[in-house]
Amino acid sequence: MRSDLPPPGLTFEALTKRFGTVVALDDVTFTVPPGAVTALVGPNGSGKTTLMRIVLGLASPTAGRALVAGQHYRHLHNPLTRIGALLDATAVDPGLTGRTHLRWLAAAGGIPTGRADALLEYVGLSAAARRRVGGWSLGMKQRLGVAVALLGDPPILMLDEPMNGLDPEGMVWFRGLVRNLRDEGRTVLLSSHLMRELEGIADRVVVIHHGRIAADAGIDSLLAEEVDTSGPPSLEDVYLRLVTSPEQVVTAPEQVRP
């Protein structure tokens, strides 16, 4: 392998996951390229969370594999410093303060606890940090989840529906955050149902439908191909067409926003 190639972000190779008779993921192959923001979209139950859980070793694939920078998660040295994830913002002990939660996770991961305070400030939670998380709104918990994901200052972030519950100011904050992460050269995989928000922050889009890839392309090329709309094409138009025409597969991996 050439040494001047950037390290891969996330790689999914023929990934299949069955829960009994339910096929959550069906032979899924795609790459999340480094240094870009990739949106993972699909209807409820299409397999997005399952895919992310497999990356972190929280679920085992029935077949195929998911790799982080070319390695299985379980083989990563200091995993918090390699990939940060937000899968379920509500999975926090409600009796803990946000600060205690974050400092505890930092200590458990061998990260200086002082970073927890810096991150609470970064995600706009300094004022609430010493209050119990049980009294926090969903949007506040999402911000805390982002802080957890950033604890190890990882080059790869994987965020499952991080915009749920954010108020308009929170949306603006989140947009800025994702742009910063990309400007810092980080790799971001982000799932959401909020197409308009994704249109403003994603470089690439992977559409998953019934556990299979329906599109994997740069957002600009996806929009450029959408010619059947009366007004300017939107990601929502592309998405709706794809999930109502599951046999269609769009790939244009070369298209990444500069």
Ligand X SMILES: Nc1ncnc2c1ncn2[C@@H]1O[C@H](COP(=O)(O)OP(=O)(O)OP(=O)(O)O)[C@@H](O)[C@H]1O
- Residue 140 interacts with ligand X (CB under 6 A): yes or no: no
Q: Please, which residues bridge with residue 38 across strands? A: 189, 204
Helix (H) or strand (E) holding 241: helix 235-244
Compute the distance between CA of residue 188 and CA of residue 175 in angstroms, rounded to an integer: 13
Could you give the angle at which helices 114-122 and 138-150 cross, rounded to 10 degrees? 130
Number of residues that bind ligand X (CB under 6 A): 11
What is the per-residue binding string for ligand X in 23-42, x denoting contact by CB under 6 A?
-x-----------------x
Judged by CB, which is closer to ligand X: 6, or 45? Answer: 45
Which residue number, 32 or 116, has a Cβ lying nearer to ligand X? 32
Tell me: does residue 246 bind ligand X (CB under 6 A): no
Binding range to ligand X, per CB under 6 A, among 45-53, 93-101, 195-203, 248-256: 45-53
Using alpha carbons, select from 94, 186, 112, 108 the residue that is nearest to residue 146.
186
> CA dist 92 to 49, 107, 122, 134, Å?
18, 16, 19, 8
Is 106 a binding residue for ligand X by CB under 6 A? The answer is: no
Binding of ligand X by 84 (CB under 6 A): no
Which residues, other chains included, contact 162 with Cβ-Cβ below 8 Å and sequence gap of 6+? 86, 89, 142, 145, 146, 174, 190, 192
150-179 footprint of ligand X as x/- string (CB under 6 A): ------------------------------
Give min distance, CB of 87 to ligand X, in A: 10
Q: Is position 224 an interface residue for ligand X (rule: CB under 6 A)?
A: no
In the complex, minimum distance from the CB of residue 92 to ligand X, in angstroms, rounded to a whole number: 19
Selected binder of ligand X within 3, 4, 21, 44 (CB under 6 A): 44
Closest CB to ligand X among residues 88, 153: 88
The DSSP line for 165-204 is: T--HHHHHHHHHHHHHHHHTT-EEEEE-S-HHHHHHH-SE
The 3-state DSSP class for residue 223 equals helix
Residues at the site binding ligand X, with contacts judged by CB under 6 A? 19, 22, 24, 42, 44-50
